[in-house]
Structure 1
Amino acid sequence: MSSELGIRVFHNTSENHCDFDSSLIITLVPPYILVISVLGIIFNVYVLMVFCLHKKACNVAEIYLSNLAGADLVLVCCLPFWAEYARKRYDWPFSESLCKVSSAVIYMNAFCSIYFLVLVSIDRYVALVHPLSHERIRRPFYAKLGCLFVWGLGLVFALPIFIYRKLEFNSQSNLTGCELDFNEHQYVAYEVITIIFSFIIPIIIISFCTVRIFQSLSNRLMEGLNTKKMEQKATTLILAVLLAFLICWVPFHVTKILDVLRYTRILKCNITRTIVQQVSVYFAFFNSVLNPILYVIAGKNFRRRAKELSKQWNNKTTETFSLMSTRMTTLRLTKSQAAL
């Protein structure tokens, strides 16, 4: 039985795989995933609190980023189950329902994350390249509709994972695996569709928007025109998040393409490529922790929101303590008067 956590999360294992000593992966993966989960939960909850609890409504870019934080949060909440799975040497200790739900949720939120970045890229493109002619579509209402569409699309693409994922007992190893019940042709067809819709199409859109954004900013600098500071700040943050996504997820998708070519026997089994595939999966999960850090480092508007929210809470806390102190003082005076 394969010990490849990434493959188990995202696709089926079969007889056509490369066997290698996975003891090091089994040792390192559980603590690594748990650290990613804890940090991802703390950081993304903080981001959602800043975006959602601030008295000022979110703009279009912030709506997309808050949904991205939500997708990252749900993803990292499901990872501890797979950390335990790896710790038990890939003997699934939970129910079949949890096997289905956790793997489908991981897939769904990984899919949604890239399309929230696509929406973010389109928003920056419209804001900087077509600031006047497309101002009407850059409204929070349309941004929320776009987010609902992405969540729905992610749910549709995760349905096969939920339907075909099941527990399979291996009598030779005496282990129960959480596996996708795909034959080889189904697996190849599903992975090709996934690669097209979750990698190739989004990368084309993001690359086009990013190139046009850089061209627009360069032209404005050459012409001596100043972009609005708010747009510059938002664009800096978006580009940082996009770069982090590409660094974390492109290796994963490239190895998936190579894996499909191996299953179709275009490429031969290669142990090095298999190990790189494992590393790329775990590196991709780190993106859910990296995004909130980038909001703080590159997001001046986010830091401003966080400071204002902190002041807002401090004021409320001060008012609460003041009110409690006043009530306690009044109560003491009342008791003193009653005693007299």
Structure 2
Amino acid sequence: MDGNQTKTNASLCLYWPIEWHYLASYWYILVICVLGIVFNVFVLTVLCLHKKACTAAEIYLSNLAAADLPLLSALPFWAQYVVKVFEWPFGRGLCKMVNVFMIMSGYCSIYSLVLISIDRYLALVFPLSHERLRRPLLAKVGCLVVWVLSFVLSVPDLIYRDVKIYSDNSTVCTINYPNYATEMGCEIMQIMLIFIIPIFIISFYSLKTFQALRNRPIEGVSVQKRAKKATLLIVAALLVFLICWIPFHMMVIIYILENVNVLMLTCNTLIFMYVWYPISMYLKIFTSVLNPILYVFVGKNFRKKVKEISKCQK
């Protein structure tokens, strides 16, 4: 869905956004970029400067913060692309690199959340019997596997992403598959691996953890408060994840179904999708700001580390 037009097989559906849309998108992307970099670098700085070795949970949280940085570093280029009404001024090399960074960041973030949800399940439901599975070394290996997998899965973008010049002399950074079968194969692979499979795993382990905490016999007021806080955090994290990720990927799924002729979309429906597609994408990138808030800043242990580092700096 590049450019300023959407098209059906039967008719041409034209849509031009209001001019202020581009400027508003530009400033929104830059604000997300600045906040995301500040928050995530702060998380990494605190976890790296603290004297004690990181636990498995902190390693996963560090990986989540690091995973957002490639996306955030690519956002200024994308903001410039949007404000120029999708006229790409940076050349072929940056076209590939910026999009590979964004794809890699998406994969790495989602699979970091998968690791966090599994680790949290083991920590809260099986705190003693599965302690060996939560060793820092295994956590580091898991994070390394996530980065390697993220790069491998972003290779199609590295190969097929290119700068294309249209007949009206507009220059766009777009994905240019060699044939229809390759396009559909890559699209279906991406939606399965970056959305459907991870969302199933995250939802499964989050709900299992939630159920275990709800059904566990609790003794003592302090223990009950900690369990309640953990439960609320799990529910909040899951809801934020679903709200931020589902709209964008539902758009992609509808686009795929329309391309394989499972759905026949009217012109008005395509225009509606074109309006909401960038909004859903901006909602998805907002998670780079929400992740450190939800998964790190609210944690008592993290706040304790910040205080200890602050004392050492004085």
TM (normalized to structure 1)? 0.82
Equivalent residue letter for 1:284: K
Aligned twin of 1:155? 151
Tell me, yes or no, if structure 1 residue 49 matches structure 2 residue 45: yes
User: How do 1:30-49 and structure 2 match up within 5 A?
Assistant: 30-49=26-45
Aligned twin of 1:263? 259
Q: Using the TM superposition, give the Cα deviation of residue 148 of structure 1 relative to its aligned residue in structure 2, in angstroms.
A: 0.2
Aligned twin of 1:64? 60
Q: For 1:69 and 1:129, how far apart are their aligned partners in 2?
A: 25
Distance 1:21 1:198, change over 3 A: same
Q: For 1:27 and 1:266, how far apart are their aligned partners in 2?
A: 36
Distance 1:55 1:235, change over 3 A: farther
User: How do 1:119-198 and structure 2 match up within 5 A?
Assistant: 119-172=115-168, 174-182=169-177, 183-198=179-194
Q: For 1:52 and 1:235, how far apart are their aligned partners in 2?
A: 28
Equivalent residue letter for 1:34: L
Q: For 2:280 and 2:8, how far apart are their aligned partners in 1?
A: 22
Q: Using the TM superposition, give the Cα deviation of residue 232 of structure 1 relative to its aligned residue in structure 2, in angstroms.
A: 7.5
Q: For 2:55 and 2:230, how far apart are their aligned partners in 1?
A: 10
Aligned twin of 2:211? 215
User: How do 1:85-96 and structure 2 match up within 5 A?
Assistant: 85-96=81-92
Structure 2: which 5+ residue stretches go unaligned?
Answer: none
Equivalent residue letter for 2:150: G
**Could you say what secondary structure the match of 2:216 adopts?**
helix
Residue deviations 1:179-212 (CA, integer Å, cap 9, x gap): 1111333222211111111111111111111111
Aligned twin of 1:280? 280
Distance 1:120 1:128, change over 3 A: same
Equivalent residue letter for 1:145: V
Cα pair 1:233 1:301 within 8 Å, conserved: no
Cα pair 1:99 1:167 within 8 Å, conserved: yes
Q: For 1:185 and 1:147, how far apart are their aligned partners in 2?
A: 32
Tell me, yes or no, if structure 1 residue 80 matches structure 2 residue 76: yes
Q: Using the TM superposition, give the Cα deviation of residue 229 of structure 1 relative to its aligned residue in structure 2, in angstroms.
A: 8.4
Aligned twin of 2:301? 301
**Could you say what secondary structure the match of 1:167 adopts?**
strand
Q: Using the TM superposition, give the Cα deviation of residue 143 of structure 1 relative to its aligned residue in structure 2, in angstroms.
A: 0.3
The Cα RMSD (Å) is 2.7
Aligned twin of 1:201? 197
Q: Using the TM superposition, give the Cα deviation of residue 23 of structure 1 relative to its aligned residue in structure 2, in angstroms.
A: 3.4
Q: Using the TM superposition, give the Cα deviation of residue 227 of structure 1 relative to its aligned residue in structure 2, in angstroms.
A: 5.6
Equivalent residue letter for 2:122: V
Q: For 1:262 and 1:283, how far apart are their aligned partners in 2?
A: 23
Cα pair 1:234 1:301 within 8 Å, conserved: no
TM (normalized to structure 2)? 0.88
Cα pair 1:233 1:300 within 8 Å, conserved: no
Q: Using the TM superposition, give the Cα deviation of residue 309 of structure 1 relative to its aligned residue in structure 2, in angstroms.
A: 1.3
**Could you say what secondary structure the match of 1:156 adopts?**
helix
Aligned twin of 1:23? 18
Structure 1: which 5+ residue stretches go unaligned?
Answer: 8-12, 315-340
Q: For 2:278 and 2:31, how far apart are their aligned partners in 1?
A: 17
Residue deviations 1:187-244 (CA, integer Å, cap 9, x gap): 2221111111111111111111111111111121468798698887677656544432
Distance 1:244 1:211, change over 3 A: same
Aligned twin of 2:248? 252
Aligned twin of 1:291? 291
**Could you say what secondary structure the match of 2:14 adopts?**
coil
Q: Using the TM superposition, give the Cα deviation of residue 128 of structure 1 relative to its aligned residue in structure 2, in angstroms.
A: 2.2
Distance 1:60 1:238, change over 3 A: farther
Distance 1:281 1:88, change over 3 A: same
Q: For 2:191 and 2:220, how far apart are their aligned partners in 1?
A: 42
Equivalent residue letter for 2:290: L
Q: How high is the sequence identity, in percent, across the aligned residues?
A: 51
Count of aligned pairs between the two proteins: 306
